[in-house]
């Protein structure tokens, strides 16, 4: 038997989540964000599965886009941060990528470049994130320059990014939206990430840019009815490969940080931080053995974890262990490791095989 640690990627759940994003977004076109290896799910498999479902893709950088093009993805692909130099711009134009212009420097670079064909541009406006984008007061001038540049193809799309759309009453989002609405343009507009799609219908405009929700987890702080029917795409599983009984008072794992308060049964599972399970997960973090909850005991090692299964009758070597998935939200696991679900799936390393399935995995 080979090592049982695997991440199942459920394309049926993915398509279901896209249909939820679509129905929430109404007439807006849908740009699926597949940056960072589709948040760890495998960019090529995700993009291929979504090619006939979405209008465009978005990635963070040129290499991510070219990798998709090389594997046959034909849809428009937006570079969310634009390019870092002129040679990248030329490569992007040759691959018919869509270009973010987020600064005066990127705009000048576009105007001066010799390109094999013009690129379609998205002009990013900084309405409060203060990370990327031209200032609101510079926007009409920048739009004017884009419309007059032979290197810019078609009407530029105007877009911005929210600071805190996951809070349904966020004052920042209201301020950002009001600022964005002051900008005059006759071209398309876009503002929403997943949380915006779910909670800010007045911000849907012409394009929405869902990432996290497509992978089936809620980006919202707290419960939100529109997020409840999302279905997690990734199920991270392994198996129990060893079981031992230890007396009260003995410790488990590195540095002996977990001490048995009673005679305990400890299961060893071959998944660790080298497989994408967070080293920061504290004792007590839930894991599923079969369908039953048990708690992490002791530190997460590189290749293994140990689980207190004292209260689970009939546990056996070979039992399936689920680290996260439909029955155990990644957000819940993340909350025991001082992080969020975005980071947990995105950090899934190449070492963990992704197994593509069409439908839920049970044990
Ligand atoms: C990553 C990203 C998104 C997607 O955000 P989610 O919260 O994952 O939906 C949308 N727009 C921009 C500019 C991004 O960088």
- Specify the pLDDT at position 362: 60
Q: Point out the ligand 1 atom lying closest to the alpha carbon of residue 214.
A: 9
Contact 342, 327 (CB under 8 A): no
How far is 7 from 235, CA to CA, in rounded Å?
A: 6
To test the pocket of ligand 1, the residue of 203, 209, 215 to mutate (highest count of ligand atoms within 8 Å of its CB) is: 209
pLDDT for 113 equals 97
Q: In the annotation, is 215 catalytic? A: no
Tell me the sheet residues that pair with 159: 124, 190
Residue by residue, DSSP assigns 344-359 as: HHHT--TTS-EEEESS
pTM of the model: 0.97
Of all protein residues, the one whose alpha carbon is nearest to atom 15 of ligand 1 is 80
Q: If you take atom 6 of ligand 1, which residue's CA is the nearest one?
A: 211
Report the nearest atom of ligand 1 relative to the CA of 210: 9
Helix (H) or strand (E) holding 148: helix 139-148
pLDDT on residue 1: 64
Q: How many whole angstroms separate alpha carbon 157 and alpha carbon 176? A: 17
Assess whether 282 carries a catalytic annotation. Answer: no
Of all protein residues, the one whose alpha carbon is nearest to atom 10 of ligand 1 is 193
What pLDDT score does 349 carry?
Answer: 97
Is there a contact between 250 and 260 (Cβ–Cβ < 8 Å)? Answer: yes
Lookup: tokens for 329: 């939200």
Inter-residue contact 215 to 17 (CB < 8 Å): yes
Choosing from 78, 193, 213 the residue with most ligand 1 atoms within 8 A of its CB, the one to mutate for a pocket test is: 193
CB-CB contact of 237 with 8 (8 Å) = yes
Give pLDDT tens digits along the chain (363 positions). Answer: 689 999 999 999 999 999 999 999 999 999 999 999 999 999 999 999 999 999 999 999 999 999 999 999 999 999 999 999 999 999 999 999 999 999 999 999 999 999 999 999 999 999 999 999 999 999 999 999 999 999 999 999 999 999 999 999 999 999 999 999 999 999 999 999 999 999 999 999 999 999 999 999 999 988 899 899 999 999 999 999 999 999 999 999 999 999 999 999 999 999 999 999 999 999 999 999 999 999 999 999 999 999 999 999 899 999 999 999 999 999 999 999 999 999 999 999 999 999 999 988 765
194 lines ligand 1 (CB under 6 A): yes
Three-class SS of residue 315? coil
User: Is the CB of 80 within 6 Å of ligand 1?
Assistant: yes
Tell me how far the alpha carbon of residue 303 lies from the centroid of ligand 1, in angstroms. 31
pLDDT given at position 99: 98
Tell whether ligand 1 has an atom less than 6 A from the beta carbon of residue 33: yes
Candidates 212, 254, 273, 342; catalytic one:
254
Ligand 1 probe mutation, 35, 58, 100, 160, most atoms within 8 A of CB: 58
């Amino acid at each position: 038997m080979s090592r049982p640690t695997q991440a199942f990627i459920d394309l049926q759940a993915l398509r279901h989540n896209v249909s939820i994003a679509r129905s929430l977004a109404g007439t807006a076109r849908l740009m699926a964000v597949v940056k960072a290896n589709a948040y760890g799910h495998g960019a090529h498999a995700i993009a291929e599965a979504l090619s006939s479902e979405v209008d465009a893709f978005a990635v963070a950088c040129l290499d991510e886009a070219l990798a998709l093009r090389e594997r046959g993805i034909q849809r428009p692909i937006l570079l969310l941060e634009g390019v870092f130099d002129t040679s990248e711009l030329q490569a992007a134009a040759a691959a018919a990528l869509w270009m973010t212009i987020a600064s005066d420097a990127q705009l000048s670079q576009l105007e001066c470049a010799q390109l094999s064909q013009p690129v379609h541009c998205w002009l990013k406006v900084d309405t409060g994130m203060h990370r990327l984008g031209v200032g609101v007061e510079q926007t009409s001038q920048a739009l004017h320059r884009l419309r007059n540049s032979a290197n810019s193809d078609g009407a530029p799309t105007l877009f911005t990014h929210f600071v805190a759309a996951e809070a349904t009453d966020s004052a920042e989002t209201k301020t950002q939206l009001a600022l964005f609405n002051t900008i005059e343009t006759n071209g398309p507009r876009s503002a929403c990430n997943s949380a915006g799609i779910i909670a800010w219908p007045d911000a849907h405009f012409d394009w929405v840019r869902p990432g996290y929700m497509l992978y089936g987890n809620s980006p919202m702080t707290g419960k939100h009815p529109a997020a409840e029917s999302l279905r997690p795409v990734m199920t991270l599983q392994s198996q129990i490969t060893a079981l031992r009984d230890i007396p009260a008072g003995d410790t488990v794992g590195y540095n002996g940080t977990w001490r048995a308060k009673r005679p305990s049964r400890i299961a060893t599972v071959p998944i660790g931080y080298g497989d994408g399970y967070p080293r920061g997960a504290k004792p007590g973090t839930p894991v599923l053995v079969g369908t039953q909850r048990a708690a992490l005991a002791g530190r997460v090692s590189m290749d293994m974890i140990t689980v207190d299964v004292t209260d689970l009758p009939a546990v056996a070597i070979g039992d399936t262990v689920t680290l996260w998935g439909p029955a155990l939200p990644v957000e819940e696991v993340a909350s025991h490791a001082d992080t969020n679900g975005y980071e947990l799936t995105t950090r899934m390393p190449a070492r963990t095989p992704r197994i593509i399935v069409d439908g839920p995995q049970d044990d």
